[in-house]
A and B are shown apart, each in its own frame.
Chain A
């Protein structure tokens, strides 16, 4: 007797839960029905990210590094699912290795990106990198998993919370990745993943007053309008490539805070 398999329903990932779109809509991508997020889902995701931000940013850097390493462990455990959702084993291995690489940066960032400043006076003066808050990420269209990881990992390692719009043409890898996120001890809401139509979601995120930065790496051209919307609250606009890996990718998502204190008796 043949067994009928239990198939997966591909849903959104918001605030640590897997809801359907509030709009009740789906679209077909990669031969699957995938949730088609609405602007209200985007709003919910921003709200979840804002709530998660102080939790995630408030953890010690050591702790954040361990949780991201745990994320890599979860991805390794799900590698066969992830492989089916992208170009294959090579892409998955590279993505896992990239998460491990970024995990190791969590407790080194301040040392590499910060500074102690020898001011001309009796003051101790230092500069530390800090997370920006809520970051919107338009994931690159391809590679499905590699592009996503290349943008999300540097965005969150420094303590930001992210709202990610998955690749429109290859959204399944993002949802498989969400399952790794959900089991990684990453605080709920730190990464939220929306599948749907970029043209529908991106303008809401670019203009959202409670989003601090937007990564337009995945906006294929035509981002002028998004940049104009981003000016509304002076968002940081980040652009990179789908395959970048460096500490400078992290610093693009960080603020710098300089602190002065007098020296004296």
Chain B
């Protein structure tokens, strides 16, 4: 986090009662928005056969940024056909070393166009430019760079097996990290020799459409990547299409289960990266100021629109009061507002629907008896905003302790012993991530062994890297993205 706590100076300088705030906006004109974005099929931008378009709204201003095509059944069919054609007539026969070079090219172009992509991401999705600039876009480029290098080394990843591509991979991604999720999906799929039909999220298609232009610049063969924008119906057409060999979905557990049922009995490989309700566990010997930064990063990063967000704070009872005091003070310094302002910590809630869902769950927390804390905070007049929120006096049974809120809302619970921390941490149907804060190494490893979660961050939180496998236990889904393990979902291993 860029902001640090204000320190008391030993020389009693007059503390200013009010800080003048000088906005530091990122230039928006680095992105040239088109009025309409068509579908990307067979290397061409095409009009939707449905003839339907829908508006993409900026969540921070509620203005319509552009219109985007609504892909219907025929459009999805065309995209799967183009992917099949590209798979059979070229891509699967291309030398792996040459496949690699296309991916390297894409990585480089993403780096070159990173400023434009970062602004586009913040404009379209509402996330702070600091995050899209420093996290989303560099990591997306890094994923392509990492998997590019795997393309011609697959036989070393799986000893005694012959890796073969699956064919056409259908991929459905969420709106929280639009370009990064696209990279997590497309990079390993192409590296393994598959072709792709990807459906960007309904509310965040912009960077995917810029990615279509990146593919053009990289001279990627037509049909290797196809992008079908639309809503849930578009996704359903893609899931039901009988021409797909693989489905990779990142999104809610609810939709993940629907997809699993839909694919039952079909010969389609499936990976699911679903919801979470991660526990961030702080022991009494933890470095408290670092832990506070980690807690804040854990739940307020990207407005809490993070499947692995540390949405349940478990604090050891003996440090409950000092930790909460620090945390509340830190919350009061978070700057909520214009996503394009480089000082912004918490941007806009991605959509009106999501804002309503957050409000509904927060209201349930108050109704069930939890105590709410929200710092004083000036919010812009237009746009979708939610003040960083913290609940204390939370029982494990409350909805805010069980359900994924996907917003900047933290539920605080306490524990006395490590055993109790484990029991509470594992007490949800999810198992995506967890955090542990303690200075004692052996305790970290003891906790790590017992936490039922696919990613455990110790004395840190929300770190991601292309070399590091990511994915869930239990109802958080199955399959891993990232690292050598992230290749397996896209290969047939004879």
- State the A residues within 8 Å of B (CB): 112, 115, 117-121, 123, 125, 127, 132, 212, 223-228, 230-234, 236, 246, 248, 255-262
Contacts and interface: CB of A to CB of B under 8 A. Distances in A.
Interface string B450-463: 00011111111001
Interface stretch (B107-115, B117-125, B410-418, B467-475): B467-475
B478 A224 contact: no
A248 B158 CA distance: 9
B260 A120 contact: no
B478 A121 contact: no
B257 A121 contact: no
Given A127-B468, A233-B474, A248-B493, A258 B454 contact: yes
A118 B261 contact: no
B470 A258 contact: yes
Contacts of B457: 259-260
A119 B467 CA distance: 6
A256 B471 contact: yes
Interface string B234-275: 000000000000000000010011101101110000001010
A118 B456 contact: no
B90 interface: no
Contact of A259 (B257, B272, B458): B458
Contacts of B448: 257, 259
A234 B142 contact: no
Kindly list the 7 A-B residue pairs having the minimum CB-CB distance in the complex, ordered from nearest.
A224-B265, A227-B264, A231-B260, A119-B465, A117-B467, A228-B264, A117-B468
B477 interface: yes
B460 A260 contact: yes
B161 interface: yes
Nearest to B431: A255
13 contacts: A117-B467, A119-B463, A120-B142, A127-B468, A127-B485, A227-B263, A231-B264, A234-B256, A256-B454, A256-B471, A257-B448, A260-B460, A261-B444
A212 B457 CA distance: 24
A39 to B, nearest CB: 21
B455 A260 contact: yes
Contacts of B485: 115, 127, 256
B142 A115 contact: no
B467 A118 contact: yes
B105 interface: no
Q: Is the interface on chain B under 10, 10 to 19, 20 to 34, or 35 or more residues?
A: 35 or more
B232 interface: no
Contacts of A232: 257
Contacts of A260: 455-458, 460, 463, 468
B465 A120 contact: yes
B78 interface: no
A123 B160 contact: no
B265 A258 contact: no
Given A121-B463, A260-B468, 14 more contacts: A112-B159, A115-B484, A212-B474, A226-B264, A227-B261, A234-B253, A234-B272, A234-B474, A234-B478, A248-B493, A261-B458, A261-B459, A262-B459, A262-B460
B429 interface: yes
B483 interface: yes
B185 interface: no
Contact of A123 (B142, B258, B460): B460
B133 interface: no
A256 B263 CA distance: 24
A120 B476 CA distance: 26
Contacts of B263: 227
Given A248-B161, A261-B458, A115 B483 contact: yes
Given A115-B484, A227-B260, A256 B474 contact: no
Contacts of B161: 248
Contacts of A259: 448, 455-458
Contacts of B473: 132, 255, 257
A97 B470 CA distance: 36
B260 A230 contact: yes
B130 interface: no
A131 to B, nearest CB: 11
Contacts of B265: 223-224, 227
A256 to B, nearest CB: 5
Contacts of A227: 260-261, 263-265
Contacts of A261: 444, 458-460
Contacts of B277: none
B184 to A, nearest CB: 14
Given A255-B473, A258-B456, A119 B468 contact: yes
B467 A233 contact: no
Contacts of A120: 142, 465, 467
A231 B465 CA distance: 29
A234 B264 CA distance: 12
A257 B454 contact: yes
Contacts of A119: 463, 465, 467-468
A127 B469 contact: yes
Most chain B beta carbons < 10 A, residue from A212, A225, A227, A260: A260
A155 to B, nearest CB: 16
A123 B467 CA distance: 12
A14 B484 CA distance: 39
B480 interface: yes
Nearest to B159: A112
A212 B475 CA distance: 9
